[in-house]
Amino acid sequence: MKNKKGIITIIILVLILIALCFVLFIFRKDTKTNDYKKLEKMNYSTEAINKIFEEKIVDKVLDNEYSKTLDEAITTDEFEITNLDLYLNIDYINKDDYINELNKLVSIGYNIEEIELIIGKIDYADIKIINNYTYINDLKEYLEYENFKIEYLERYVNYRNNNIALSFNDIIKNVNMDLDKESYSDPKTVENTNDILMLINKHNKLPDNFEPENLEKISSKCTTKELLLNSEARKSFELMCNDIKSLGMNLRAISTYRTRDYQNKLYTDYSNRNGKAEADTFSARPRFSEHETGLALDVMGGNTTYTDFHKTDEFKWVEKNAYNYGFIIRYPKEKEHITGYKYESWHLRYVGKDVAKYIYENNITFEEYYEKFLLK
């Protein structure tokens, strides 16, 4: 009898156990079904949901908002479980290799915040440039600046390594102006040679076959020589010259348009006399001279030599008024590190009234103006 009771007890216990398992099974299945429905409701694709279960990340995914990036990532071979937080938080971009690029950014060392910035600020095609480079600690700083150019990234980083005291703004500005390069080492050939705003300096040269059009002879009232200047610049210069004359002063053009051959002769003579290094501080090599554009001129005032122009009343007036005629003092004081030339009070460049006004009022060089508004 005792045995029978024992057997019954065991059977009951087993039945209870089976019932318990069944309840648990139903409950679990129910939870699974609920989670599945939640994920579906969130918008995840069936394929993604199955993977989410497979990867055992259901709770984590449910704790976050729907992520299209995760939806796409998890169904590809590129899915990396360690990058789950990134996939959950980063906006989706509809590109085949997007997940791959994201993974690379992580592997280089960028965190989610940095990657968000990269994705937000850089054209998609350019993310590869970042991915081809090592981790840049200050990338965030560089990206802040409007004139940041991704193609110069490596140059910014190298330049900063050698100029650690400069602000990021100056790093970007200077590199954009090619100041990280040796003068004449890697010049660009100017393309917009019909534009009065073309930039000619030690990093930007005229095309070999360039010859300016619209050259006109300057009135004998404003020069004692036979000199040519770009038509627009010529008209403006004569206006300025007449206005200054009406105030009892005398402004004369002494050197304006130069041919390449003439510029070559000038530079060669200076080099022979002073040595190349010295000549480079005040004379341009052929094709690198603004005088070859017909937009620049050297002037003289009073009865002094042109190198003393800064001492004359004419200069005092020109300094304050030339912008009204579209001219700037092209090589100002204390800007040698930007222009590449010693201060030349006598060298004027025609850029048109609006640009001249901006340059005058902001006390900047043409290089800086060009970097800010015209650099492509």
Backbone angles phi and psi of 163, in degrees to 5: -140, 55
> How does strand 296-301 pair with strand 344-350?
antiparallel
Q: Is 298 in the site for Zn ion (CB under 5 A)?
A: yes
In the Cβ-directed half-sphere of 212, how many Cα atoms lie within 13 Å?
A: 27
CA–CA dist 156, 312 (Å, integer): 42
Write out the two tokens for 125: 């095609």
Q: Is 258 in the site for Zn ion (CB under 5 A)?
A: no
Rounded to the nearest whole angstrom, what is the least distance from the CB of residue 289 to Zn ion in the complex?
8
Stretch touching Zn ion by CB under 5 A, among 2-10, 48-56, 230-238, 293-301: 293-301
C-beta of 335 vs 347, nearer to Zn ion: 347
Rounded to the nearest whole angstrom, what is the least distance from the CB of residue 291 to Zn ion in the complex?
6
What number of chain residues touch Zn ion (CB under 5 A)?
Answer: 2
C-beta of 110 vs 366, nearer to Zn ion: 366
Least Cα distance to 242 among 251, 232, 229 occurs for: 251
Closest residue to Zn ion: CB criterion: 347
C-beta of 114 vs 298, nearer to Zn ion: 298
C-beta of 298 vs 314, nearer to Zn ion: 298
Query: Can you tell me which residue has the tokens 């900047």?
Result: 364
Interface residue with Zn ion, options 347, 366, 367, 368 (CB under 5 A): 347
C-beta of 101 vs 298, nearer to Zn ion: 298
Stretch touching Zn ion by CB under 5 A, among 38-46, 200-208, 312-320, 341-349: 341-349
Rounded to the nearest whole angstrom, what is the least distance from the CB of residue 307 to Zn ion in the complex?
11
Q: Is 252 in the site for Zn ion (CB under 5 A)?
A: no
Give me the residues paired with residue 296 across strands: 349
Span between the terminal Cα atoms of the chain, in Å:
101
Write out the two tokens for 45: 């694709």
Residue 330 has a CB neighbour count (10 Å cut-off) of 25
Integer Rg of the chain from CA: 36
Binding site for Zn ion (CB under 5 A): 298, 347
